[in-house]
């Protein structure tokens, strides 16, 4: 297919039309130019291919598919080769079902243990996430299927993900939230990147030229397609200018039919569906990080009468486990997929040896989390800056339940003979136990203590080593300039003495050597002395955070009647608008019909469907409704929500 010839023959109207999906999962075909449609599907841990009526929450039937372990488990293997095989298997399965673009892997940072998508993100550490993601991409794209690296960028919570604003300083953006994507793009070369719903410092990702063109394309060399998350387009013209190529509509036939039913009854309602592919669990049903009070009481009761209690723990993120010392052992498997039962049996009986390591820190309680007061806000202030995960707990000298990189085995390992020669670091690992096993060797670098604030150490290398009893192997790591660099108006290396540390977790470092690194004298900012960012004690205050940002950050007021915009949602407007209250009630009733007429907020599927429908911005509703809501209707409803009923009617009539 001569792509350039086809492009030259297409009209401007055809090109514009081609940049919006034909339906929920497919691009537009242009048969007169020989261009077929392209079908997409979730996801990073198994297909969710819907050939009939489509939606994002599983209301309608999907084709049978293999359920692979999501990133919380796949990442914990620290096995790049194995993760590549998972990507390859999903790619082959996708092609067998007519899917040529598979939406994944996810490379966002686990900023907070309550993140609704933590189960499908790889880590709290950007280097680790960046090194694992390319393996999945290469494996998947080796089959001929394409990957879509997501969600670009700073998408670390589900609450208000359609119109939330992630507010953070440039250094934190670069060192923590973009580094994983940068490595994945440069080393994995995904064919597509998916832009996120949220804003970054006030600019929607879909409209963000600095993000999509200046950084992604010009700086990192990405030459593929940028596709929106479903319904994430804010402004189509600004999106074109920013470098956002394909706008995928989030509406489904299920929602279109519901909307038409409401219209036929002359009800003031258009059901909109900007449905994300994860539960909006964060603000809806959580009290804390603990297991349900009943999966806790049971453990307490059993362990009180049986000293040999072993807990098989499943879950997508860190949890509070106050009963830890009362049980003999804990086997944490994340979410192991459809073969998890057999895997658990083999691990518990000793037929297999646990090889995994945690890719996120487990704090003692949620009260120890640095982002606990700024999480689950519409406008999220990333006050903790670069201190995410172990970077924070180490800097604050906080005790944790389990450190980053932690994991036990049925055998033991010895570390010896560490050597550093120029950019090469080597170490010998020996299996000193009686059975075969795998060890994950981790390399961290501690920066000079003086100068600009930095974490106490950061992961800069890892390797998984399979060893027979008594066997020893030498593991080698290569360091580069980025191993020592920080973002300071570009990547720069502060000169000084750096400590290279090797061990089995972030808090079990067995071998160390100091190296002198030449670089620049980067002075600490004047405000740093005595600030939270020097010692990370307590929680960061807003005033100090504004100094980190380099400017005052206005506090965003809650939306008020008379000032609502197309970026506001039915849920945000219903308490002060009769029109939106009616809209909410009608939507609630229509969605309840698909759940036996029950408005049951304890049903996670119903709850998610409802919240996603009523908490979708009006500007996204125009895209998501599949043509049921046009610009005039949206603007008319907005005028009415603001109390201008006559103007609203006029807008609906196109006047």
Taking the C-alpha atoms of residue 54 and residue 257, their distance in angstroms, rounded to an integer, is 12
C-alpha angle with apex 69: 66 to 75, nearest 5 degrees? Answer: 145
∠ at Cα 559 (555, 564), nearest 5°?
130
Catalytic hit among 229, 368, 394, 615: 229
Give the C-alpha separation, 372 to 395, whole Å: 17
Angstrom distance (rounded) from CA 162 to CA 518: 45
Q: Do residues 152 and 319 make contact, with C-beta atoms less than 8 angstroms apart?
A: no
Question: Is 418 buried (19+), middle (13-18) or exposed (0-12) by CB count in 10 A?
Answer: middle
CA 315 to CA 299: how far, in whole Å?
A: 16
Q: For residue 550, is it left (φ>0), alpha (ψ between -120 and 50) or beta?
A: left
CB 525 within 8 A of CB 488: no
470 DSSP assignment: T
Q: Minimal CA–CA distance to 112: which of 358, 382, 322, 505?
A: 382
Q: Are 209 and 218 in contact (CB under 8 A)?
A: no
Q: DSSP letter at 177?
A: I
Q: Cα(652)–Cα(655) distance, rounded to whole angstroms? A: 8
The 3-state secondary structure of 349-406, one letter per residue: CCCCCCCCCCCCCEECCHHHCCCCCCCCCCEEECCCCCCCCHHHHHHCCCCEEECCCC
* Cβ neighbours for 628, distance < 8 A, ≥ 6 positions apart: 251, 256, 259, 260, 263, 270, 271
DSSP 12-43: HHHHHHHTB-SSSSBPPPBGGGTB---BEEE-
- Three-state DSSP class for 166? strand
Give the helix ranges, DSSP H, for 27-173. 71-74, 80-96, 126-141, 170-172
Cβ neighbours, 10 Å, residue 608: 23
Query: How far separated are the first and last CA of the chain, in Å rounded?
Result: 46
Q: Is 643 left (phi over 0), alpha (psi -120 to 50) or beta?
A: left
d(CA 497, CA 488): 19
The distance from CA 101 to its chain's CA centroid, rounded to whole angstroms, is 19
Question: What 3-state class would DSSP assign to 545?
Answer: helix
Q: In angstroms, rounded to a whole number, what is the distance separating the alpha carbons of residues 30 and 9?
A: 12
Nearest to 453 by CA among 488, 490, 489: 488
The answer to whether 54 and 63 are in contact (CB under 8 A) is no
223 is catalytic: no
Residues contacting 14, CB < 8 A, separation 6+: 30, 33
CA torsion sign for 594, 600, 601, 603 is negative
Q: List the catalytic residues.
A: 229
């Amino acid at each position: 297919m001569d792509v350039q010839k086809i492009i030259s023959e297409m009209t401007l109207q055809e090109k514009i039309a081609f940049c919006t999906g034909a339906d929920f999962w497919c691009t537009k075909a242009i048969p007169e130019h020989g261009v077929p449609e392209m079908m997409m599907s979730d996801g990073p841990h198994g297909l969710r291919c819907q050939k009939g009526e489509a939606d994002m929450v599983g209301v309608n039937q999907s084709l049978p598919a293999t359920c692979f372990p999501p990133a919380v488990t796949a990442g914990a293997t620290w096995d790049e080769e194995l993760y590549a095989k998972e990507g390859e298997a999903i790619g082959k399965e996708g092609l067998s079902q007519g899917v040529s673009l598979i939406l994944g892997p996810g490379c966002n940072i686990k900023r907070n243990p309550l993140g609704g998508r933590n189960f499908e993100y790889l880590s709290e550490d950007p280097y680790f996430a960046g090194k694992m993601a390319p393996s999945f991409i290469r494996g998947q794209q080796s089959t001929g299927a394409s990957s879509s690296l997501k969600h670009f960028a700073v998408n670390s919570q589900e609450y208000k993900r359609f119109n939330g604003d992630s507010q953070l300083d440039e250094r934190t953006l670069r060192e923590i939230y973009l580094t994983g994507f940068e490595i994945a793009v440069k080393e994995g070369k995904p064919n597509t990147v998916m832009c996120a719903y949220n804003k970054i410092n006030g600019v929607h990702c879909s409209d963000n030229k600095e993000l999509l063109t200046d950084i992604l394309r010009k700086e990192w060399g990405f030459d593929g397609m940028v596709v929106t998350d479903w319904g994430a387009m804010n402004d189509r013209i600004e999106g074109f200018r920013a470098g956002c190529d394909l706008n995928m509509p989030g509406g489904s036939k299920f929602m279109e039919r519901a909307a038409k039913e409401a219209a036929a009854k002359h009800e003031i309602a258009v059901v909109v569906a900007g449905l994300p592919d994860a539960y909006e669990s964060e603000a809806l049903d959580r009290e804390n990080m603990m297991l349900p009070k009943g999966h806790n009481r049971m453990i307490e009761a059993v362990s009180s009468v049986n000293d040999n209690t072993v807990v098989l723990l499943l879950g997508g993120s860190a949890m509070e486990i106050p009963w830890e010392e009362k049980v003999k052992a804990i086997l944490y498997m994340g979410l192991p997929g459809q073969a998890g039962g057999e895997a658990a049996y083999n691990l518990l009986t000793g037929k297999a040896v646990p090889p995994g390591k945690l890719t996120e820190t487990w704090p003692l309680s949620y009260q120890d989390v640095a982002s606990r007061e700024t999480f689950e806000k519409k406008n999220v202030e990333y006050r903790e800056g670069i201190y995410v995960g172990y970077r924070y707990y180490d800097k604050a000298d906080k005790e944790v339940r389990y450190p980053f990189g932690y994991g036990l085995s049925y055998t033991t390992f010895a570390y010896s003979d560490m050597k550093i020669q120029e950019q090469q670091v080597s170490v010998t690992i020996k299996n000193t136990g009686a059975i075969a096993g795998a060890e994950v060797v981790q390399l961290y670098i501690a920066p000079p203590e003086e100068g600009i604030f930095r974490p106490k150490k950061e992961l800069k290398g890892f390797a998984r080593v399979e060893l027979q009893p008594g066997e020893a192997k030498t593991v080698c790591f290569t360091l580069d300039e980025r191993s020592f660099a920080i973002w300071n108006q570009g990547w720069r290396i502060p000169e000084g003495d750096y400590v290279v540390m090797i061990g089995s977790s972030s808090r079990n470092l067995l071998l160390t050597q100091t190296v002198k690194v030449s670089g620049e004298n980067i002075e600490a900012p004047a405000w740093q002395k005595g600030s939270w960012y020097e010692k990370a004690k307590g929680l960061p205050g807003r005033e100090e955070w504004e100094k980190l940002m380099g400017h005052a950050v206005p506090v965003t007021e809650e939306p008020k009647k008379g000032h609502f915009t197309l970026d506001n949602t039915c849920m945000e407007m219903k308490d002060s608008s009769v029109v939106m209250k009616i809209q909410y009630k009608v939507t609630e009733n229509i969605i309840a019909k698909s759940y036996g007429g029950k408005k049951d907020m304890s049903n996670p599927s119903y709850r998610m469907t409802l919240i996603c429908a009523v908490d979708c911005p009006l500007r996204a509703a125009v895209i998501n409704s599949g043509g049921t809501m046009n610009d005039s209707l949206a603007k008319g409803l907005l005028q009415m929500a603001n109390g201008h009923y006559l103007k609203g009617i006029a807008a609906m009539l196109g006047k």
